[in-house]
Amino acid sequence: MSIIQAKNIYKVYNETHVPVHALNGVDLEIEKGEFTAIVGPSGSGKTTLLNIIGGLDLPTEGDIFIEGTNLKTLSSRQLIDFRLHNIGFVFQAYNLIPVLTALENTEFILELQGVSKKEREKRAMEILKTVDIADKRDHKPGQLSGGQQQRVAVARALVSQPKYIIADEPTANLDSKSTEELLTLMKKMNEKFQTTFVFATHDQRVMDKARRIITIEDGKAVKDETFER
Amino acid sequence: MLLAIAWRNLWRNGRRTVIGAAAVFMALVLSLLMLSMKYGSLEQMVSAGVNQVGDLQVHSAGYFENKSIDHAFFDNKNVDVTFKKIPEIKRVVPHLETFSLASYGKQTKGIMVSGIDPKLEDIQSGLSKKIIKGHYLEKGDEVLIGDNMAEFLKINVGDSIVLLGQGYRGITAYGIYKVAGIFHLPSLQMNSSLLYMNMQDAQSFVYPYQKGLLTGFSIYLKKTSQLKAVQKQVGKDLGKDYEIIPWQTILSNLLETVATSKAGTQVFVLILYVVAAFGIFSTILMMTMEKRKQYAVMVSIGMNRGRLVWMSILETFMVSIIGVVTSLAVASPILFYMHYHPIPVTGNLAEMYLQYNIEPVMPFSVSPYLFISQTSIILILSFLSALYPVIYVLKFNVLNAFRH
Ligand SMILES: Nc1ncnc2c1ncn2[C@@H]1O[C@H](COP(=O)(O)OP(=O)(O)OP(=O)(O)O)[C@@H](O)[C@H]1O
Ligand SMILES: [Mg+2]
């Protein structure tokens, strides 16, 4: 069974005033271990789709199933809990908690999950080593470069071993070297842990690494290609 | 970790936190100083009142409501024995008071005759120091009168005053006494209508057939905190023929005045608190606005809003607690110093204080009530300010917060 199953998704913003039809009937299935990019012109609905996949927003019509759970049936509290235990997030603007160190930012999710202090430090350190930023464990986000912050963000998304990770334009604020490193890292994680990655991106370098590219235009999936890489 | 985040969030923009805490600091320090001074002088007034009437008064039942001589009782020594058994009692001063007419020459006036134990009375109220002419009570058949009464009756020291009044059990009380001294007390009423005489003289004036008639005792305690216990004990020991009245009842008018005066100051202090509330609230408002994105990230990655509520409450309270702790740290030493080293009052004011039997100083109160009430007001204000972030955190839309 696929991890993510989107069925005939419509999303209308501003229903009462000037309605914006952001998604117009998207069907989508994503399998475990995929490394998939959602691409398309600006305003085509990539972010909207990703937010729905990530349980941050609900479709106006249609259903989104995560391993058989219909997100529409969850209360807003349950939805937060669902995100905590199943989904990892990497944002465009890194969005680490500014007052916490790299290590604490990584531990934060585990703390929310109620993991013991010792255990979460161990796991957070491990993952920081894997993303190669362990030497900066005690630095706050303000003291890290964009690329380093984004690696901590990936560590934070990975540390709880979520079913999948969504990343909206994760490389948009990075230079090409950092982009290259981050992509290599995510690919490595994808292969090592079989973690599913779904990106929204404009970035050709991301598309070049993706094994599947879904193109949307005007809120519709118009192309779905797979590549052997 | 919530605590750590909340604490560090405060210092991300330390200046703003300091401004919020400073508003609390200013309001609390000023209000403590003002109220401490006000409460101090009111407490001084009350204690002067208590010094006069006693912590407790014992009468035969019904006397407090209807101060008739027919409610007098004979001090049959039982009462004294009861008092001696109670170690918390410092001093017991007996009273005998009755209405009478006083005449000298062609003048007659209604007055109050008060029988006292000259020694005890002097210890308790320093009456001998209030004599402005003649001398204090020394032997029998002497009386002390106020200066206004002397003026009215056109009587002088050494003259004889005639008293005619209602005695106990319907008899007529009658006597002629020599004016030994003329006193001046702070109250016009006392100066124009109070006459002191020896207890024995007063007793035989009111009822010559049996010794020991009294209208009551004033009881002074070693510690005021023992009031309730002693009141209960005395009441139990003496039985229902007697009434035991605490000073709060006797001085209820004074207490009302005190309460009104306190309330008046508190209203003024409220203005300070409006400033404090504004300080806390604007700090909290800005802190919340600035953290919209941080909150959105936290909820996205799976922090439930309940915990976020706690975090924002913590932040609000930390700001005000910083203000409260620093104000207490600054204000308490000052207040305690002023409490033990009060500002002396000089000149005419000092004289007036002395007449009222009040030490001529401006005392500062360090009553725990003062600290507790003012701190609670601040905490209530922070609680109200915390409602804003709490409501925000419960209601905000994660995706909208990201778009800002
Ligand atoms: N909260 C919102 N309220 C109203 N309209 C919205 C909202 N969010 C997105 N839209 C509109 O929905 C459409 C799809 O937006 P979306 O952000 O999903 O596009 P996108 O593909 O991510 O674009 P970009 O590449 O610029 O990030 C756009 O027309 C956008 O203006
Ligand atoms: Mg987008």
Any bridge partners for residue B99, and if so which? B112
Judged by a CB distance cut-off of 8 A, whether residue A203 touches chain B is: no
Judged by a CB distance cut-off of 8 A, whether residue A81 touches chain B is: yes
Q: Is the pLDDT of residue A48 over 90?
A: yes
**Residue with CA closest to ligand 1 atom 25:** A42
Residue of B nearest to A108 (CA): B1
Set of chain B residues whose Cβ sits within 8 Å of the Cβ of A156: 301
Are B297 and A95 in contact by the 8 Å Cβ rule? The answer is yes
Do residue B83 and residue B203 come from a single domain?
A: yes
- Can you spell out the DSSP letters for A57-75? S--SEEEEEETTEEGGGS-
Q: Is the CB of A47 under 6 A from ligand 1?
A: yes
Separation in Å, CA A69 to CA A5, A58, B141: 10, 13, 106
Q: Classify residue A141 by its DSSP letter.
A: G
Judged by a CB distance cut-off of 8 A, whether residue B16 touches chain A is: no
**CA A32, A37, A38: angle at the middle one, nearest 5?**
115
The Cα–Cα gap between A133 and A110 comes to 18
Set of chain A residues whose Cβ sits within 8 Å of the Cβ of B302: 80-81, 83-85, 87, 109, 112-113
> Could you tell me if residue B249 is inside a domain?
no
The chain-wide mean pLDDT, for chain A, equals 93
pLDDT digits (tens, 9 = 90+) for A169-205: 999 888 999 899 899 989 998 998 899 999 999 999 9
Of the residues A12, A17, A38, A46, which should be mutated to test ligand 1's pocket, given the most ligand atoms within 8 Å of the CB?
A46
Q: Which ligand is nearest to the CA of A168?
A: 2
pLDDT band at B104 (very low <50, low <70, confident <90, very high): very high
The Cα–Cα gap between A162 and A139 comes to 25
pLDDT band at B68 (very low <50, low <70, confident <90, very high): confident
Interface mutation vs chain B, best among A46, A89, A112, most B CBs within 10 Å: A112
| Nearest CB partner across the interface for B399, out of A51, A85, A156 | A51
The Cα–Cα gap between A139 and B264 comes to 55
pLDDT for the residue B354? 72
Q: Is the CB of A51 under 6 A from ligand 1?
A: no
The Cα–Cα gap between B336 and B339 comes to 5
The Cα–Cα gap between A133 and B126 comes to 84
The Cα–Cα gap between B138 and B130 comes to 15
Helices (H) and strands (E) in chain A, counts: 7, 10
Set of chain A residues whose Cβ sits within 8 Å of the Cβ of B293: 95
Question: Hey, how many other C-beta atoms are within 10 angstroms of the C-beta on B220?
Answer: 17
| Sign of the dihedral defined by the CA atoms of residues B84, B88, B91, B93, in that order | negative
For chain B, the domain total comes to 2
Do residue B306 and residue B165 come from a single domain?
A: no
Alpha carbon A3 to chain centroid, angstroms: 14
Residue keyed to tokens 């009350």: B46
Nearest-CA distance from A120 to chain B in Å? 12
pLDDT for the residue B77? 67
Interface mutation vs chain B, best among A97, A103, A104, A168, most B CBs within 10 Å: A97
Q: Which ligand is nearest to the CA of B399?
A: 1
Per-residue pLDDT, averaged over B190-202, amounts to 93
Do residue B44 and residue B76 come from a single domain?
A: no
Q: Is the pLDDT of residue B355 over 70?
A: no
Do residue B72 and residue B45 come from a single domain?
A: no
Calculate what percentage of chain B has a pLDDT beyond 70.
Answer: 99
Instruction: Give the residue from B186, B211, B239 where a domain finishes.
Output: B239
Do residue B9 and residue B128 come from a single domain?
A: no
Alpha carbon B94 to chain centroid, angstroms: 24
Q: Phi and psi of A227, rounded to 5°?
A: -130, 145
Per-residue pLDDT, averaged over B313-334, amounts to 92
Three-state SS annotation for chain B: CHHHHHHHHHHHCHHHHHHHHHHHHHHHHHHHHHHHHHHHHHHHHHHHHHHHHCCEEEEECCCCCCCCHHHCEECCCHHHHHHHHCCCEEEEEEEEEEEEEEEECCEEEEEEEEEECHHHHHHHHCHHHHEEEECCCCCCCEEEEEHHHHHHHCCCCCCEEEEEEECHHHCEEEEEEEEEEEECCCCHHHHHHEEEEEHHHHHHHHCCCCCCEECEEEEEECCHHHHHHHHHHHHHHHCCCEEEEEHHHHCHHHHHHHHHHHHHHHHHHHHHHHHHHHHHHHHHHHHHHHCHHHHHHHHHCCCCHHHHHHHHHHHHHHHHHHHHHHHHHHHHHHHHHHHHCCEECCHHHHHHHHHCCCCCEECCCCCHHHHHHHHHHHHHHHHHHHHHHHHHHHHCCHHHHHHC
B9:A107 CB<8 A? no
pLDDT digits (tens, 9 = 90+) for A63-115: 999 999 999 999 999 999 999 999 999 998 878 999 999 999 999 999 999 99
Interface mutation vs chain B, best among A85, A95, A96, A107, most B CBs within 10 Å: A95
Torsion of CA A24, A27, A31, A37, to 10 degrees: -30
A56:B300 CB<8 A? yes
Set of chain A residues whose Cβ sits within 8 Å of the Cβ of B294: 97-98
Judged by a CB distance cut-off of 8 A, whether residue A138 touches chain B is: no
Q: Is A85 helix (H, G, I), strand (E, B) or coil?
A: helix
Reported as half-sphere exposure (CB side, CA atoms, 13 A), residue B404 has a value of 14
Question: Hey, how many other C-beta atoms are within 10 angstroms of the C-beta on A119?
Answer: 11
| Structure token pair of residue A11 | 């999303």
Do residue B10 and residue B68 come from a single domain?
A: no
Determine the structural domain holding residue B39 and report its residue range.
2-50+254-403
Per-residue pLDDT, averaged over B127-132, amounts to 91
Position in ligand 1 atom list of the atom nearest CA A216: 21
The Cα–Cα gap between A125 and A104 comes to 10
Do residue B19 and residue B86 come from a single domain?
A: no
Spans of all domains in chain A: 4-226
Judged by a CB distance cut-off of 8 A, whether residue B292 touches chain A is: no
pLDDT band at B266 (very low <50, low <70, confident <90, very high): confident
Q: Classify residue A94 by its DSSP letter.
A: B
Whole-angstrom distance between the N-terminal and C-terminal Cα of chain A? Answer: 23
pLDDT band at B322 (very low <50, low <70, confident <90, very high): very high
A108:B1 CB<8 A? yes
Nearest-CA distance from B314 to chain A in Å? 15
Torsion of CA A54, A58, A61, A64, to 10 degrees: 40
**Residue with CA closest to ligand 1 atom 24:** A42
Question: In B79-95, which positions are buried (b, 16+ CB within 10 angstroms) versus exposed (e)?
Answer: beebbeebeebeebbbb
Question: Could you tell me the distance, in angstroms and rounded to a whole number, from the CA of residue A47 to the centre of ligand 1?
Answer: 7
Q: Classify residue A120 by its DSSP letter.
A: H
The chain-wide mean pLDDT, for chain B, equals 90
B304:A80 CB<8 A? yes
Are B172 and B164 in contact by the 8 Å Cβ rule? The answer is yes
**CA B285, B290, B292: angle at the middle one, nearest 5?**
95
**Residue with CA closest to ligand 1 atom 14:** A45
Do residue B73 and residue B136 come from a single domain?
A: yes
pLDDT digits (tens, 9 = 90+) for A184-194: 989 998 998 89
Judged by a CB distance cut-off of 8 A, whether residue A223 touches chain B is: no
> Could you tell me if residue B248 is inside a domain?
no
Do residue B267 and residue B395 come from a single domain?
A: yes
Separation in Å, CA B219 to CA B38, B93, B240: 28, 6, 18
CATH architecture of the domain A4-226 equals 3-Layer(aba) Sandwich (3.40)
Q: Classify residue A196 by its DSSP letter.
A: E
| Nearest CB partner across the interface for B302, out of A80, A91, A98 | A80
Q: Is A56 helix (H, G, I), strand (E, B) or coil?
A: coil
Question: Hey, how many other C-beta atoms are within 10 angstroms of the C-beta on B381?
Answer: 21
Instruction: Give the residue from B215, B239, B263 where a domain finishes.
Output: B239
pLDDT band at B152 (very low <50, low <70, confident <90, very high): very high
| Nearest CB partner across the interface for B302, out of A97, A98, A112 | A112
**CA B315, B298, B314: angle at the middle one, nearest 5?**
15
The Cα–Cα gap between B60 and B306 comes to 64
Q: Is the pLDDT of residue B155 over 70?
A: yes
pLDDT digits (tens, 9 = 90+) for B271-293: 888 888 888 899 899 989 989 99
Judged by a CB distance cut-off of 8 A, whether residue B67 touches chain A is: no
> Could you tell me if residue B392 is inside a domain?
yes
pLDDT for the residue A51? 95
Q: Is A145 helix (H, G, I), strand (E, B) or coil?
A: coil
Q: Is the CB of A62 under 6 A from ligand 1?
A: no
Calculate what percentage of chain B has a pLDDT beyond 90.
Answer: 51
Do residue B79 and residue B105 come from a single domain?
A: yes
Set of chain B residues whose Cβ sits within 8 Å of the Cβ of A46: none
Whole-angstrom distance between the N-terminal and C-terminal Cα of chain B? Answer: 27
Q: Is the pLDDT of residue B352 over 80?
A: no
The Cα–Cα gap between B198 and B140 comes to 7
Do residue B147 and residue B209 come from a single domain?
A: yes
Q: Is the CB of A133 under 6 A from ligand 1?
A: no
pTM of the model: 0.76
Interface mutation vs chain A, best among B291, B297, B395, most A CBs within 10 Å: B297
**CA B374, B378, B383: angle at the middle one, nearest 5?**
140
Q: Is the CB of A102 under 6 A from ligand 1?
A: no
What letter represents residue A48's amino acid?
T
Judged by a CB distance cut-off of 8 A, whether residue B309 touches chain A is: no
Any bridge partners for residue A11, and if so which? A23
Which residue has better confidence, A198 or B45?
A198
A56:B398 CB<8 A? yes
Separation in Å, CA A128 to CA A107, A113, B186: 10, 19, 83
Are A163 and A67 in contact by the 8 Å Cβ rule? The answer is yes
The Cα–Cα gap between B254 and B301 comes to 63
Per-residue pLDDT, averaged over B295-301, amounts to 94
Position in ligand 1 atom list of the atom nearest CA A200: 22
Judged by a CB distance cut-off of 8 A, whether residue B294 touches chain A is: yes
Q: Is the pLDDT of residue B202 over 90?
A: yes
Instruction: Give the residue from B213, B239, B265 where a domain finishes.
Output: B239
